[in-house]
Amino acid sequence: MSSPPAKMEPMPVTVDHLTGLDDEQREAVLAARGPLCVLAGAGTGKTRTITHRIAHLVANGHVAAGQVLAVTFTSRAAGEMRSRLRAMDAQGTGTPVGSVQALTFHAAARRQLQYFWPRVVGDTGWQLLDTKFSVVAQAASRSRLQVSTDDVRDLAGEIEWAKASLISPEGYGAAVAKIQRDIPLDAEKVATVYAAYEKLKANRDGIALLDFDDLLLHTAGAIENDTAVAAEFRDRYRCFVVDEYQDVTPLQQRVLDAWLGNRDDLTVVGDANQTIYSFTGASPRYLLDFSRQFPDATVVRLERDYRSTPQVVSLANRVIAAARGRVAGSKLHLIGQREPGPSPTFHEHPDEVAEATAVARSIKRLVESGTAPAEIAVLYRINAQSEAYEEALTEAGIPFQVRGGEGFFSRQEIRQSLVALQRAAERSGGQERSDSGQDRGAEGSLPEIVRAVLEPLGLTAEPPAGTKARERWEALTALAELVDDEVAARPELEFPALMAELRMRADARHAPVVQGVTLASLHAAKGLEWDAVFLVGVADGTLPISHALAHGPDSEAVEEERRLLYVGITRARIHLELSWALARTPGGRQGRRPSRFLNGIAPQTQAEPSPSKPRRQKGATPRCRVCNAVLATAPSIMLRRCETCSVDVDDELLAQLKDWRLRVAKELKVPAYVVFTDNTLIAIAESLPADDAALVAIPGIGARKLEQFGPDVLDLVRSRQ
Chain residues that interact with ligand ATP, rule: CB under 6 A: 20-22, 25, 40, 42-48, 306-307, 527
| Shortest separation between residue 371's beta carbon and ligand ATP, angstroms | 18
Name the residue number minimizing CB distance to ligand ATP. 45
Residue 595: contacted member of Mg ion, ligand ATP, none (CB under 5 to 8 Å, by partner type) = none
Stretch that binds Mg ion, among 45-53, 566-574, 611-619, 644-652 (CB under 5 A): 45-53
The interface partner of residue 126, options being Mg ion, ligand ATP, none and the CB cut-off 5 to 8 Å by kind, is: none
Min. distance of Cβ 333 from ligand ATP in angstroms?
A: 15
Q: How far apart are CA 696 and CA 614, in angstroms?
A: 7
- Is 47 a binding residue for Mg ion by CB under 5 A? The answer is yes
Tell me the residue nearest to Mg ion as measured from the CB: 47
The answer to whether the annotation marks 90 as part of a ligand binding site is: no
Select the span of 41-49, 317-325, 351-359, 518-526 touching Mg ion (CB under 5 A): 41-49
- Least Å distance, CB 14 to Mg ion, is 23
Give the nearer residue to Mg ion in terms of CB position, either 139 or 335. 335
First to last CA, the chain: 21
Only one of the segments 44-52, 328-336, 495-503, 544-552 lies at the binding site for Mg ion (rule: CB under 5 A); that segment is 44-52
Cα distances (Å, whole numbers) of residue 479 to 423, 450, 473: 17, 9, 10
**Residue 45 CB, nearest distance to Mg ion (Å)?**
8
Strands (E), 522-597: 530-535, 572-583
In the complex with Mg ion, the residue whose CB is nearer, 46 or 468, is 46
Please say which residue, 76 or 503, places its beta carbon nearer to Mg ion: 76
Return the one option of ligand ATP, Mg ion, none that residue 21 interacts with (CB less than 5 to 8 A, by type).
Answer: ligand ATP
Closest to ligand ATP by CB, 341 or 527: 527
Cis check for the bond before 544: say yes or no (omega within 30 of 0).
yes
Count of residues binding Mg ion (CB under 5 A)?
2
Residue 195's SS3 state is helix
Nearest Cα to Cα of residue 275 among 335, 331, 214, 215: 331
Q: Annotation-wise, does 219 bind a ligand?
A: no
In the region spanning residues 306 to 335, those forming contacts with Mg ion, defined by CB under 5 A, are: none
Cβ proximity to ligand ATP: between 46 and 584 the closer is 46
- Residue 38 CB, shortest distance to Mg ion, in Å, is 11
Range list of β-strands (E), 13-67: 36-40
Comparison of 150 and 271: residue with beta carbon closer to Mg ion: 271
Q: Which does 306 bind (CB under 5 to 8 A by kind): ligand ATP, Mg ion, none?
A: ligand ATP
CB closer to ligand ATP out of 18 and 716: 18
Q: Please enumerate in sequence order all residues whose Cβ is within 8 A of that of 399, keeping only pairs 6 or more positions apart, or say none.
A: 373, 393, 513, 514, 515, 516, 517
| CB contact at 8 A, 363 and 534 | yes
Output 309 or 362, the one with its CB closest to ligand ATP.
309
Chosen from Mg ion, ligand ATP, none, partner binding at 477 (C-beta under 5 to 8 Å by type) = none
What residues from 361 to 380 belong to the interface with Mg ion (CB under 5 A)?
none
Spatial CB neighbours of 457, under 8 Å, sequence gap ≥ 6: 413, 416, 417, 420, 476
Residue 601 contact among Mg ion, ligand ATP, none, beta carbon within 5 to 8 Å by kind: none
CA distance 490 to 481: 14
CA distance 85 to 79: 10
- Residue 359 contacts residue 392 (beta carbons within 8 Å): yes
Query: Least separation, in Å, of the C-beta of 308 and Mg ion?
Result: 14
Q: Cα–Cα distance between 242 and 249 in angstroms, integer?
A: 13
Q: Which is nearer to ligand ATP, 52 or 411 (CB)?
A: 52
Residue 45 interacting entry, from Mg ion, ligand ATP, none, C-beta within 5 to 8 Å by type: ligand ATP
Q: Is 43 annotated as a binding residue?
A: yes
Does 275 bind Mg ion (CB under 5 A)? Our answer is: no
Q: If contact means CB under 5 to 8 A according to the sort of partner, which of ligand ATP, Mg ion, none does residue 44 touch? A: ligand ATP
Nearer to ligand ATP, 45 or 711 (CB): 45
Per residue, what are the HEC states of 59-81? HCCCCCHHHEEEEECCHHHHHHH
Residue 467 assigned as binding residue:
no
**Least separation in angstroms between CB 333 and Mg ion:** 19
Q: Which of 248, 238, 298 is nearest to 274 (CA)?
A: 248
Q: Specify the residue, 89 or 303, whose C-beta has the smaller distance to ligand ATP.
A: 303
DSSP string across 499-518: HHHHHHHHHHHHS--SS-EE
Whether residue 129 contacts residue 135, with contact meaning beta carbons closer than 8 Å, is answered with yes
Residue 349 CB neighbour total at 10 angstroms? 18
Q: Which is nearer to ligand ATP, 133 or 306 (CB)?
A: 306
For the bound state, the minimum distance from the C-beta of residue 21 to ligand ATP, rounded and expressed in Å, comes to 5
Residue 512 makes CB contacts below 8 A (sequence gap 6+) with none
Looking at residue 270, its amino acid is G
The correct pick among 17, 26, 33, 46 for binding Mg ion (CB under 5 A) is 46
Residue 483 near residue 499, CB atoms below 8 Å: no
The β-bridge relationship of strands 304-305 and 239-242 is unpaired
Give min distance, CB of 515 to ligand ATP, in A. Answer: 20
Which residues lie across from 579 on neighbouring strands?
347
**What's the closest the beta carbon of residue 400 comes to ligand ATP, in angstroms?**
22
Cα 315 from Cα 566, distance rounded (Å): 9
Angle of the 212-225 helix axis to the 105-121 helix axis, nearest 10? 50
Report CA dihedral (153, 154, 158, 160) to the nearest 10 degrees: 20
Q: CA torsion, points 299, 301, 307, 310, in degrees to nearest 10?
A: 180
Count other Cβ atoms within 10 Å, centred on residue 32. Answer: 17
Judge whether 45 is annotated as a binding position.
Answer: yes
Binding-site partner at residue 273 among ligand ATP, Mg ion, none, CB < 5 to 8 Å by type = none
201 is annotated as contributing to ligand binding:
no
Burial of 446 (0-12, 13-18, 19+ CB in 10 A): buried
Shortest Å, Cβ 716 to ligand ATP: 23
What is the Cα–Cα distance from 569 to 455, expressed in whole angstroms?
37
Centre a 10 Å sphere on the Cβ of residue 586 and count the other Cβ atoms it contains.
16
Instruction: Quote the least distance from Cβ 320 to Mg ion, whole Å.
Output: 18
Specify the residue, 25 or 47, whose C-beta has the smaller distance to Mg ion. Answer: 47
- Residue 184's binding partner, choosing from Mg ion, ligand ATP, none, with beta-carbon cut-off 5 to 8 A by kind? none
| 62 touches, from ligand ATP, Mg ion, none (C-beta below 5 to 8 Å by class) | none
Residue 680 partner contact from ligand ATP, Mg ion, none using kind-dependent CB cut-offs of 5 to 8 Å: none
Q: Which does 25 bind (CB under 5 to 8 A by kind): ligand ATP, Mg ion, none?
A: ligand ATP
What are 530's strand-pairing partners?
A: 572
In the DSSP assignment, the letter for residue 542 is B
Contact partners, residue 369, CB within 8 Å, separation at least 6: none
Cβ 226 to ligand ATP shortest distance, Å:
36
Binding-site residue positions for ATP: 40-47
Binding-site residue positions: 40-47
Site residues, Mg ion (CB under 5 A): 46-47
